[in-house]
Amino acid sequence: MLITNGTLITWETPNRILENHALYIEKDHIREIGPTQDLIAKYPHEERLDAKGQYVMPGNICAHTHFYGAFARGLAIPGPAPADFPEILEKLWWSLDKSLSREAVYYSALVCLVDAVRHGTTTLIDHHASPNAIEGSLDQIARAVEESGVRASLCYEVTDRDGPERAKAGIEENLRFIEYVKRERPLNGRLAAMFGLHASLTLSEATLQTCRERVGEDIGFHIHVAEHPVDEYDSLHKYGERVVDRLNRHGILGPRSIVVHAVHVDVREINLLVETGTWVTHQPRSNMNNAVGMAQTEGMLRAGVKVGLGNDGFSNAMWEEWKAAYLAHKLWHLDPRRMPATDVVRMAIYNNAALATQQFNCGPIGVIAPGAQADLIFVDYQPFTPLTPDNLPWHIVFGFHESMVTTTIVAGKVLMRDRELLTLDAEKIAYEARQLAPRIWERYHALF
- The domain that contains 394 carries what CATH number? 2.30.40.10
The H or E element spanning position 178 is: helix 164-184
The number of residues making up the chain comes to 448
Average pLDDT over residues 371-399: 98
Q: What's the pLDDT at 323?
A: 98
The reply to whether 431 falls in a domain is: no
Sign of CA dihedral 301, 305, 310, 311: negative
Looking at the structure, do residues 53 and 69 belong to the same domain, yes or no?
no
386-413 confidence digits (pLDDT tens): 999 999 999 999 999 999 999 999 999 9
Average pLDDT over residues 295-299: 98
Do 278 and 254 touch, CB atoms closer than 8 A? yes
Q: Where are the beta strands (DSSP E) in 185-335?
A: 191-193, 195-199, 221-225, 258-261, 279-282, 306-309
Instruction: Reply yes or no on whether the pLDDT at 149 is more than 90.
Output: yes
Domain housing 48: 2-58+369-421
Looking at the structure, do residues 291 and 378 belong to the same domain, yes or no?
no
One-letter identity of residue 279: W
Average pLDDT over residues 361-375: 97
Do 368 and 30 touch, CB atoms closer than 8 A? yes
Average pLDDT over residues 213-238: 97
Instruction: Reply yes or no on whether the pLDDT at 187 is more than 90.
Output: no
* pLDDT band of 78, cuts 50, 70, 90: very high
- Please tell me whether the overall predicted TM-score, pTM, comes out greater than 0.95 for this model: yes
Which range (10-14, 43-47, 79-83, 183-187) has the least confidence?
Answer: 183-187
Instruction: Reply yes or no on whether the pLDDT at 200 is more than 90.
Output: yes
Looking at the structure, do residues 48 and 130 belong to the same domain, yes or no?
no
Instruction: Reply yes or no on whether the pLDDT at 186 is more than 90.
Output: no
Which range (98-102, 183-187, 236-240, 276-280) has the least confidence?
Answer: 183-187
Mean pLDDT rounded to a whole number for the chain: 97
Q: 10, exposed or middle or buried, with CB in 10 Å at 0-12, 13-18, 19+?
A: buried
Average pLDDT over residues 177-186: 94
Looking at the structure, do residues 330 and 397 belong to the same domain, yes or no?
no
Round the CA-based radius of gyration of the chain to a whole number and report it: 21
20-75 confidence digits (pLDDT tens): 999 999 999 999 999 999 999 999 999 999 999 999 999 999 999 999 999 999 99
Q: 443, exposed or middle or buried, with CB in 10 Å at 0-12, 13-18, 19+?
A: middle
Average pLDDT over residues 135-145: 98
- List the CATH number of the domain containing 71: 3.20.20.140
Looking at the structure, do residues 287 and 404 belong to the same domain, yes or no?
no
Of 135, 57, 149, the residue nearest 102 (C-alpha):
135
Do 306 and 279 touch, CB atoms closer than 8 A? yes
- CA–CA separation, 75 vs 166, rounded Å? 26
